[in-house]
Amino acid sequence: MQASGTFTVKLEPQSPAHADSGLGRMSIYKQFSGDLEARSLGEMLAYRGTVDGSAGYVAMERVVGTLHGRQGAFVLQHSGTMDRGASGLLVSVVPDSGTDALAGLTGTLAIHIDAQGGHSYTFDYRLP
């Protein structure tokens, strides 16, 4: 199955757990529209080094809403890198995190950002 649509995201800087770590921490608030009608809350840790265009981040977000009309919640795990401008990103459903009508959900979500900064997603998933 595949779901697609748009989303808005709000990131708010937070204090890092250890000031000397060099890591940035942010809270994540998203609103999904389209085949996934949901909101999510999460946290991100990021690092940006001294080389322009190189960075990395990890995040976890809990999504609550409906996916193609099936109501429930699930957790997405992010792992992203920028290597001198070349980006790589994997966003996948945490195994067994699905609840209610989304129990057993697996899959990966691709994030797309257009030239104007608008966000959209393509979510390839399976349900039992």
* Distance, CA of 72 to CA of 101 (rounded, Å): 6
User: What letter represents residue 43's amino acid?
Assistant: E
* Distance, CA of 7 to CA of 97 (rounded, Å): 21
Q: How many CA atoms lie within 13 A of 104 on its CB side?
A: 5
pTM: 0.94
* Per-residue confidence in pLDDT tens, the chain, 128 aa: 999 999 999 999 999 889 899 999 999 999 999 999 999 999 999 999 899 999 999 999 999 999 999 999 999 999 999 999 888 999 999 999 999 999 999 999 999 999 999 999 999 999 99
Which listed CATH number (2.40.350.10, 3.30.910.10, 2.40.30.10, 3.40.30.10) goes with 2-114? 2.40.350.10
Token code pair at residue 18: 């250890």
SS3 89: strand
Where exactly are the structural domains of the chain? 2-114
Cβ contact 76:94 at 8 Å? yes
Would you state the pLDDT for residue 42?
Answer: 98
Longest dimension (CA), the chain: 46
Would you state the pLDDT for residue 19?
Answer: 87
**Per-residue b/e over 102-125, b at no fewer than 16 CB within 10 Å?**
beebbbebeeeeeeeeeebbebeb
Residue entry with tokens 């429930």:
72
